[in-house]
Structure 1
C-alpha cells in the first residue's frame, strides 16, 4: 500500500519547555544543539539528536536544514486587537482617552467588509513575520470583522481565537449594538466558526463599562451555553477605569467581581492587564481557572501600571503574554518580552530568559487550555514553530558570539531581538513565512 502521509524532517537547534522554569528549574527546558524534529501530516511525530534521528529516516525523507539557527515553538499572543493595527504608535493618551481619540473612530471603518479583509490579511501576515502562530484577538462590533479575521487565519492554517466585540453603552452610537443583537450575532458566529479547522470563538465584552447589565448577563449566558468557547475582556488596566467601574457597578465588590457576577470567570476566560487587582481577585482567578494576559508594552505606553507576576504565580494563576497591539507598540513577542523584563524590574521582580520564553510558548498555551495541542515539541502536538537567526543583524551576531551559555543567548535574543531575527515561521510543519521572500 502506498504511504500517502506528508512526512517532513526539520533539523536545527531545538529549544522548548515541558514545565514552568519557576517550578521545575533547569529540568523545564529541553535543548538539542543539533536536533531533528519529524513531522507527519502536520503533527510532531518525534524529535531527538540529529545523528540518531537521521540514521533511522528513509534517505528520501524531505528535510529542511536550519543548522546554525534556533528553533522554538511558535509564539502564543494571548491578547491583541487586529482592528487597531493602523493606530499602533499613536501619541499621548492614557486608556480612556485612547479609546475616544483613536480606537473608536478606527474601529468604525470595519463596517466595510473589504477594509476588514485587507487589515485581516496584513495582520495575519505580520503575526507570522514575527513568529506568532496562535493569537487570541479582538475584532470589532461588526460581525463582518470577525468573518474577515477568521477567513484570513483559515487561509493560512493558523490557530486563531477571536470574537465580535459586545458594546451597548458608553461608546459612540455608530459602534453600539444592543444586548439582544450582540447575543444573536455572537451565537450565529459561534455556529459558523467555532471548531472550523483551527479556529475557535471567544465571547468578547469589550470591558464592563461599555456593556449594560443585560448585555453582561447575556455574555455570560453565551459562555455557558457553548462548552469549549472562550471569553475575553479587560480588567483593572488603569486606575481611572477601575474608579469608573465602581461608579457603574456599585453593588460589586471589585472590578473583577462584576465579571464573576455575570458568569464570566472560568476555564478559557482570559483577562488582559490585571494590574489593579487585590488578593481576593487574584485568588478568584486562580480558583476558577481564569487566565491573565500580561501586556507589558501597552501597560508602559499607556502609563497603566506594573503587572505582579510573582503574586500571580504564587497563587497558581495561569499567565500568558499579550502584545496588545495597538496600545502595545510591537507585534514582536521578542520585543514584548524585552518590556516584560523591564516592567518586572521596576516592580522589584526578576524574569529569567527561560521563564520569559516559557510564558511566550507553553505558558501561553496553558493559559488558553491548548497545551494538549501546541506550546512545545512533544509528540502529537501541532507543528507550529519559529526559526530564529542568531546572526540577523551585525550587533546581534556580535553579542551572540560573546555569550557563554544557552541562558545568556536566550536573554540576548529577548533583549535585542525583533522581527529581523525571524528567519522562518512554520504552520503545521509547512513554511508560512520566510525572511527575504514576498
Structure 2
C-alpha cells in the first residue's frame, strides 16, 4: 500500500511533527517500509517500481496514529454511562460484578455486546485495547474472536479472583483460578494459530482484578505464570482511598509491595489508576519498567486523588491513557486526552494557590500537561506501554493509523464541529495543516472527522 499526504505524530513527549506531502509505503505484513517527502527523486523511484498505484489522502486531511486504550472493562460496556453515583467498592457490588456475571451466563448477549463495542471503538479511532474481561474463559474467547474479526488489536484479560463480595461471582480456589488462567492463555493463542503472525491481533493477559479479590497464593502463582509464559499483566493499583485503606488493614502492606513481591510488577505490566502512588513509589514503577494506564475521568469519579501524571512522566514512567469503561462513561480516547489536560491544569492551580511565594512558583516544576503531550500519551505512549512498535510513523513500525478529515477545500467548510472563516476561494491552493488546525481538531473533533482507520496495515473502516 502506498499513501501520499500529510502525516502528524508525536515521536516523543511534547514533540509534534507535521510531515507534509509525504509518501508512506506499507509492506504486506502491515509495517512501514518507506517514508519520505513525496517530491524526492527516491520517492518517485519507489512509486515507479511499485506494483500498485499511489492513493492520495483526501485534501484537507492528515494521518495520525490510531489511539491505544490501556484500560477498558469490556463487559461493563453493557451499562456504560450509568451507575456512577456510588463509591468504588459499593459500585463494584451493585454494577460491575453483576454485569460480568450476566455476560458469563449468556454467550449470545456477550457476542452482541462485544460486536457493538468493536463498532464503537473503531468509530472512535481506537485501534489497540487492553481489555479486562470476565471470570469465564469462554466469554473472553468470544471477546477475542469478535475483536480479531473486527480488526481491533486486543489484549484480552481473563479475570483471576478467588475472593469476592458476590458469592456467585468468584473462582473456587487459587488452584482453580491458576489452572483456568493457564488454559485461557493456551486457548487464546490457539484461536489465531492458523493465521500468519502479522495477522494475529489478539493476545492473552494475566489479570488479577485487584488486591482485595486475590489471595497471596493466587498472586504469587500468577506472577510465576507470567514469567513462564512471558505474557502481559494488568491490574488496578492504589486506585481509591477505600481500596488502599482495605489493603493496608487486611494485608499490612501497600498495593505496590504486594504486586512486586508476587512478581507482577515487570516490564510487561500495566497498572490502572495509581492515584495514591507517592514519589518513591513512582520511582519504583520506573525501575520495574511497569506502565500506568491513566484514566482521568473515572479517577474523578472514584478516587479521592488525582494521578501524579507530570511527576510520573518526569521520572520516566511509561504512561498511556485509558477510558475505564464503565467507571468512565466515554469510550472516546479524545475525551480522555482532554480530561487529562483539564485534571492536570486543576492540579497546577492547586499547586500555585498552595505555594508560599511567587519565587517558589517560578522555581517549581509545573504539574500541568498540554494537548501535544496528551496526544503522545494516546498514541505512542500507549503503544510503548503495550510493547508495540506503532503509535509513530517510522520505518519498521506497525501501520496503525487513522485519517482525519478537517476541511473540504472545495467549499471551505470544516468537517463536523470544525469551523473556519478565512476566504474560501483562496484556500484550495494556499491552505495547509498546521499546529493551530491540529489543536482545533484536538479540542473539537469527533467521529465525523474520521475518514478511515488501519490496524497492522489492514483497513478496518472507511467513510464514503
TM-score normalized by structure 1? 0.89
Q: Distance in 2 between matches of 1:400 and 1:69?
A: 17
Q: Which residue of the partner structure matches residue 219 of structure 1?
A: 222
Q: What does 1:27-426 align with in structure 2 at a 5 Å threshold?
A: 28-41=15-28, 42-52=30-40, 53=43, 56-58=46-48, 60-91=52-83, 92-111=85-104, 112-177=106-171, 178-194=173-189, 196=192, 197-227=200-230, 229-250=231-252, 252=253, 254-302=254-302, 304-348=304-348, 349-370=367-388, 373-391=389-407, 393=415, 395-398=417-420, 406-426=434-454
Q: Distance in 1 between matches of 2:159 and 2:386?
A: 19
Is residue 17 of structure 2 the alignment partner of residue 17 of structure 1?
A: no
CA contact (8 A) 1:74 1:384 kept: yes
Aligned length: 418
Deviation track 1:298-334 (CA, whole Å, cap 9, x = no partner) reads: 1123354312111102221111111111111211111
Give 1:409 shift.
2.8
Structure 2 counterpart SS, 1:140? coil
Q: Distance in 2 between matches of 1:431 and 1:225?
A: 35
Q: Distance in 2 between matches of 1:335 and 1:420?
A: 15
TM-score normalized by structure 2? 0.85
Q: Which residue of the partner structure matches residue 5 of structure 1?
A: none
Instruction: Flag structure 2 segments of 5+ consecutive residues without an equivalent.
Output: 193-199, 349-366, 408-413, 425-430
Q: Distance in 2 between matches of 1:400 and 1:346?
A: 34
Structure 1 counterpart SS, 2:336? helix
Q: Which residue of the partner structure matches residue 24 of structure 1?
A: none
Deviation track 1:17-54 (CA, whole Å, cap 9, x = no partner) reads: 32222xxxxxx433222222111212211122233335
Q: Which residue of the partner structure matches residue 25 of structure 1?
A: none
Give 1:233 shift.
0.3
CA contact (8 A) 1:390 1:400 kept: no
Structure 2 counterpart SS, 1:386? strand
Deviation track 1:384-434 (CA, whole Å, cap 9, x = no partner) reads: 101112246554233899999833333322222233332221123332122
Q: Distance in 1 between matches of 2:164 and 2:6?
A: 51
Give 1:94 shift.
2.5
Deviation track 1:208-227 (CA, whole Å, cap 9, x = no partner) reads: 00112221122212112212
CA contact (8 A) 1:291 1:367 kept: yes
RMSD of aligned residue pairs (Cα, Å): 2.3
Q: Which runs of 4+ in 1 moved over 6 A?
A: 399-405
Q: Which stretch has the larger CA shift, 75-84 or 149-158?
A: 149-158
